[in-house]
A and B are shown apart, each in its own frame.
With several copies, the nearest count.
Chain A
Amino acid sequence: MQAVMEAIIYVAEEPVKAEQFQEVFPEESPEAIRRALAELLESFNARPGGMWIREVAGGYRMTTRPEHHEQIRAYLKTRPGAKLSMAALETLAVIAYKQPVTLAEILAIRGKKSSSSLQTLLERKLVCILGRKEVVGRPILYGTSREFLIHFGLNSLADLPTLEEFAQMAGDQL
């Protein structure tokens, strides 16, 4: 029973109350459930692991241990697999298909401010500066980087799928 309780506390979004375990184990007495929970806490928290289970807001909740915060933060900062937000992905798509392109042009296409998305993309090195546009204000021109091609497994920009190809796919189904 403890193993299942541990798994449930792990998957739960909110602290899990003892009564909720009662629903999962209807045949067990409330007393038995309380005892099992106490034993789980004792054994889980005694092991030298990365998580612990605490009683929070009248329920049980799994969190990392505070002493590892620094390393966890270090991991979160460096993880390369972090997903781009939809806003960033859209900005990236505009840059990929319309390059070289200025921030104002991206704004015009997306219909919303894109500077923070652009910042993220520059930090991730998916986008780079190509030069300046020779118009009033000489705005910076952006384009996709070599990293972008690697990231999306493309040989060259000519490998990007076209809108027509997607339309073709939709047409095929009819």
Chain B
Amino acid sequence: MQSGEDLNQDFRPETEAGGLTIRLDVFQGPLDLLLHLIKREEVDIWNIPIARITEQYLEYLEIMKELNINVAAEWLVMASTLIFIKSRMLLPREPAPENAEETEDDPRTELVYQLLEHQKFKNAAEMLFTREEVENAVWNRPPDEVLEDGGDVIAVTLFDLLRAFQEVVRRFESQRVMEVAQEEVTIEQKIEDIRKCFLVHDQLQFSSFFTAASSKRYIIVTFLALLELVRLREIWLFQQQVFEEIQVSRIKESA
């Protein structure tokens, strides 16, 4: 649980196998980092010292780059927003017309509303967290003989499939030593490759299609090729049991 207090531990970058993949444990997104900075500085949300906060935000971005963290686009968008607001603040303000709201022309206003909105949903998420804790402390166990039996083969939903795909990507990410420049394979070529595989085999493990993968692109192309073949009804995917390895099987031509 990352309550406001825990956020004060600052960065807790986690190094995974091989030291290549680093995850941010504490901050989930740029808005979270800004909220953290504002709370730490104990500044008034309606009067954010934009120059100081921008400077600190950029420092964090630097650390992230040094740590090899893949900085997602939204972090850079926020950086440019902050710099834009900062520059607007430096411009001499036109004398406000009488009776005008003081904050009306403040370039920070929109960001403040965004931050408040974000904090609101963080609070809602904490409420859900607490409720989940309580519900985790109760059990509902209807007697066995009432339960419907699940049938023999459990089919794979698209979400099972996507999860398996994610698993392959994760494994690939943790094992990769270096991305070797590889000949670009197209989906059409990959479909042909898979078709050739099934001339010899009736059934293969889902993961076996990815063992030779040497780039993320290769995995994506292979995955899309498999999906296309499912769509064309040439292959189908199934599991014997939930959580078991997904099997890919050729659909036999009916006579």
Contacts and interface: CB of A to CB of B under 8 A. Distances in A.
Contacts of A119: 159, 162
Interface in B137-187: 137-144, 146-148, 150-155, 157-159, 162-163, 165-166, 169
B65 interface: no
Contacts of A161: 124, 127
Contacts of B249: 111
A49 to B, nearest CB: 13
A163 B228 CA distance: 9
B197 interface: no
23 contacts: A10-B139, A12-B141, A13-B146, A62-B143, A69-B136, A82-B148, A84-B128, A89-B128, A89-B129, A90-B28, A93-B128, A108-B254, A110-B236, A111-B29, A123-B163, A163-B231, A166-B162, A167-B223, A170-B116, A170-B123, A171-B220, A173-B39, A174-B220
Given A111-B114, A112-B72, A112-B74, A11 B121 contact: no
B138 A86 contact: no
Contacts of B67: none
B108 to A, nearest CB: 13
A83 interface: yes
A66 B29 contact: no
B206 interface: no
Nearest to B131: A152
B125 interface: yes
Contacts of B140: 61-64
A92 B128 contact: yes
A83 B148 contact: yes
Interface of A is mostly: helix
Contacts of B153: 86-87, 112
Contacts of A153: 131, 134-135, 138
Contacts of A174: 35, 38-39, 45, 115-116, 119, 169, 216, 220
Contact of A76 (B1, B132, B146, B236): B146
Contacts of A110: 29, 31, 118, 121, 155, 236
* Of A11, A65, A82, most B-chain CB atoms within 10 Å: A11
Interface string B43-71: 00100000000000000000000000000
Nearest to B249: A111
B120 interface: yes
B241 to A, nearest CB: 11
Nearest to A153: B135
A109 B146 contact: no
A94 B121 contact: yes
A94 B238 CA distance: 14
Interface string A11-36: 11100000000000000000000000
A90 B126 CA distance: 8
